[in-house]
Chain A
Amino acid sequence: DSGVTQTPKHLITATGQRVTLRCSPRSGDLSVYWYQQSLDQGLQFLIQYYNGEERAKGNILERFSAQQFPDLHSELNLSSLELGDSALYFCASSAGTSPYNEQFFGPGTRLTVL
């Protein structure tokens, strides 16, 4: 158990819909990262937040957005969903922003878009 929790574990929805994925970081960690893992694209970095502020952006679509709240939990919002958005979405947390800070991954949310 990494100490990172993600809800829900599974999500099934239809194209065009909007969903919210939630992540609670390990106690004391200030950084949260979101990743997408799909069969054809592999593991892709989406976005990083540190202490409530956006820190880095990766391959995140404009239809996707994220935020980190004052209690440090984070949410990833996916809108206008397409079939290709079906994937595992992982959240990871680390103590800070240094490359020496290990990232701990949550168990993931499996999103299926029908």
Chain B
Amino acid sequence: GQQLNQSPQSMFIQEGEDVSMNCTSSSIFNTWLWYKQDPGEGPVLLIALYKAGELTSNGRLTAQFGITRKDSFLNISASIPSDVGIYFCAGQLGNQFYFGTGTSLTVIP
């Protein structure tokens, strides 16, 4: 099945730093979603994007739906230790959902 290219694969940052990760696809999507998964748990929705060019914030998180509808990025500002986890992008087209390969984030206090 289709897979989204998500980068970087992993990040090690100092507490307080900003983080940026992105997702690209060869196909266009109608919806882009960003999830966070903690160890031993299911993914939790962070931000949902529904229109090309849309820029949405959720606290320290900001995500954008690319103009081409083939990409999206997620920024985390002023990282804190509880931001540790795996972040996934997901694209929805019709009734189908496709997920990125994940970005593992480690925040060093």
Contact: A58 with B42, CB < 8 Å? no
A90 cross-chain contacts in B, Cβ below 8 A: 42-43
Question: Which of these, A42, A100, A105, contacts B42 with CB under 8 Å?
Answer: A105
Chain B: which residue is nearest A97 at the CB level? Answer: B95
Given contacts A42-B100, A43-B102, 6 further A-B contacts (CB under 8 A): A42-B3, A43-B88, A58-B1, A58-B97, A99-B50, A99-B92
Distance to closest chain B CB from A68 (angstroms): 15
A103 cross-chain contacts in B, Cβ below 8 A: 45
Would you list which residues of chain B between 77 and 109 have a CB under 8 Å from chain A?
A: 88, 90, 92, 94-102
A43 and B43 contact, Cβ closer than 8 Å, known pairs A55-B95, A58-B96: yes
Chain A interface size range = 20 to 34
Chain B interface size range = 20 to 34
User: Count the A-B residue pairs with Cβ separation under 8 angstroms: how many?
Assistant: 54
Contact: A102 with B48, CB < 8 Å? yes
Question: Which of these, B50, B94, B99, contacts A44 with CB under 8 Å?
Answer: B99
Bound complex: CA of A3 vs CA of B2, how far in Å?
29
Whether A77 sits at the interface, judged by CB under 8 Å, is no
Bound complex: CA of A103 vs CA of B45, how far in Å?
8
Whether B30 sits at the interface, judged by CB under 8 Å, is yes
Bound complex: CA of A42 vs CA of B96, how far in Å?
16
Distance to closest chain A CB from B46 (angstroms): 11
Contact: A43 with B99, CB < 8 Å? yes
